Structure 1
Amino acid sequence: MPPSSAGPTTTILELPSGIRVGVTQQGGTRAPAVVCLPGWGGSQYLFRHNIPALASAGFRAIAIDLKGHGVSDKPLDTDDYTLDGMVAHVLEVLDALHLEKASLIGQSMAGPIAAQISLTAFERVERLVLLAPVGYGPIRPVSIARVLAPLGVARHLPALATRWMFDLVVKSMYGDLIKPSERDIDEYFAPASDPNFVRALHRLIHHFDWSSFDDGRLRALRVPLLVIRGDSDPIVPLSVLDRFRQDVPGLRVAKIPRAGHLLTEEAPEAVNRAIVDFLSAPNLQPG
């Protein structure tokens, strides 16, 4: 049976730390692994159009719910939601999946996580794809959220996490190509049934390093890099591409017209083409 002929399977993986993580996989176990990391508030659902395409292209495609997200456990220790805490978490997942090496795809907030792994554990990363990545400069919605939801209000936040609010936030991240369906909103809202979901998001807003690239760390990148950005992204400004080019002269860039911040939702076919072409290209130089 070809590796991609069977559909994706979703399981709960218990890590040595005790945290349980939702994992979706498709493709042969001996195929080159590609691990997809959703950003702030996202889940494996974000990659539902990409996992089958990557498997069909000959990869072992894996998407995980980061701790605090989706069906994964939602611990409330502040250290869990720092950049270093999230990097250690993803490395623990790679170990539990027995992946010595994989290509990483990081969306939005997961971009700095995937990039940091590529810097500190570069021997474990084949290639790096960043989708609408944050990491340079202040992120305006994060700055606003820090003011509107200071640390002292954490216990009250679950009561404010209504479906209407999720609908508003998700729609604000789209460009001009399509709009999210009612099912899409339901999927993004579903984890809010656990009050610790919103508390975890709140901890990330306050304790994650959203501007980690500002110190020039990407100049030390030793793996090939592809950055994909939508031309109508309301979160990541166009100027970010210039900063990537300054720090990583050899990077590859794919632009998607009229797409916003949730590229895998808005333009999955274009994203799949760009990723598969990049992952399949021979003899790419680092950066």
Structure 2
Amino acid sequence: MSTTAMLELRSGVRVGVLQEGKVGAPAVVCLPGWGGSQYLFRHNVPALANAGFRAIAVDLKGHGESDKPLGTEDYTMNAMVEHVFEVLDVLGLEKTSLVGQSMAGPIAAQVCLAAQHRVEKLVLLAPVGYGRVLPVSVARVLAPLSMSRALPVLARRLLFKLVVKSMYGELVTPSERDIDEYFAPSRDPDFVRALHRLIHHFDWSSFDDGRLRALRVPLLVIRGDSDPIVPLAVLSRFHHEVPHSRFVRIPRAGHLVSEEAPELVNRAIVEFLSAPTIPIPQN
């Protein structure tokens, strides 16, 4: 049975957390991407718990039920990485596997690089991080969010619905409840400001410097073949820089692959996390 809670970090920021599974089981912490919340992992947390893991989905600061500090310094890469460490500490996790979606992909990877002894395995879902793939897509999302005074709520919701649908592939379409869940935070001006600060102060191309070559934990990358945000060429970059990485491509899925093809994604993640960990030699 899942439980939700608000946890206060040592910085004073409060975060929303969804947990399911036994406290002593191997932990898996799921981090949603830009604009997302723990709702993104609604199909994944129960499956991970049923497979014997302690599954945890977190609303990163600025998102979902979590606090939304407004300082520009709160949304740099370093600040977001430190934020995740605070979350792991308050959860009492000395070691965990991480699942990072989209923007949370490079955050999770940087957490791993900063403290590889604390990360068992790393899963990246449609990760950004190579090149600046964001501007056009982000502009499409921010347009309806920024029109709070120019358009009535229903009109903005309609625009937002079109944007969310454009992130999907050909497998499914978002339900009206899905649209409501994703649109609801946009009525909070602090949420919109947080997204703006991430756009301007987060390092969206953090992988370009080759830092992933230092990764020494098992890595699984999952991408939908119809992802409009992350180009297919990203997979070859991962393979070149992280030879021990594994890849799963989901036919006809888009950027929100974990909710478009949950059964396939869950199977891939559970198999990956359940497999014996083989030591990865240093270069």
Question: Which band: TM-score by shorter chain?
Answer: over 0.9
Select which of 48, 58, 82 maps to 1:64.
Answer: 58
| Residue aligning to 1:4 | none
SS of the residue corresponding to residue 233 of structure 1 reads coil
Structure 1 portions without partners, runs of 5+: 1-6
TM-score by length of 1: 0.92
Displacement over 4 Å in runs of 4+ = 143-149
CA contact (8 A) 1:36 1:106 kept: yes
CA RMSD after TM alignment = 2.0
Q: Map 1:64-213; keep pairs closer than 5 Å.
A: 64-139=58-133, 141-142=134-135, 145=138, 158-159=148-149, 162-213=156-207
Distance 1:148 1:65, change over 3 A: closer
CA contact (8 A) 2:126 2:230 kept: yes
Structure 1 residue 112, shift from structure 2 partner: 0.3
Distance 1:175 1:12, change over 3 A: same
Task: Give the Cα–Cα distance (whole angstroms) in 2 for the partners of residues 90 and 12 of structure 1.
Answer: 15
Task: Give the Cα–Cα distance (whole angstroms) in 2 for the partners of residues 18 and 178 of structure 1.
Answer: 39
Task: Give the Cα–Cα distance (whole angstroms) in 2 for the partners of residues 101 and 166 of structure 1.
Answer: 38
Task: Give the Cα–Cα distance (whole angstroms) in 1 for the partners of residues 207 and 277 of structure 2.
Answer: 26
Task: Give the Cα–Cα distance (whole angstroms) in 1 for the partners of residues 35 and 260 of structure 2.
Answer: 17
Deviations 1:19-57 (CA, angstroms, capped at 9, x unpaired): 110000000000000000000000000000000100010
Distance 1:159 1:127, change over 3 A: farther
Q: Percent identity over the alignment?
A: 71
Structure 2 portions without partners, runs of 5+: none
TM-score by length of 2: 0.93
Distance 1:185 1:244, change over 3 A: same
Does residue 255 of the first structure (1) align with residue 249 of the second (2)? yes
User: Higher mean Cα deviation, 191-200 or 228-237?
Assistant: 191-200
Structure 1 residue 265, shift from structure 2 partner: 1.2
CA contact (8 A) 2:140 2:163 kept: no
SS of the residue corresponding to residue 112 of structure 1 reads helix
CA contact (8 A) 1:21 1:64 kept: yes
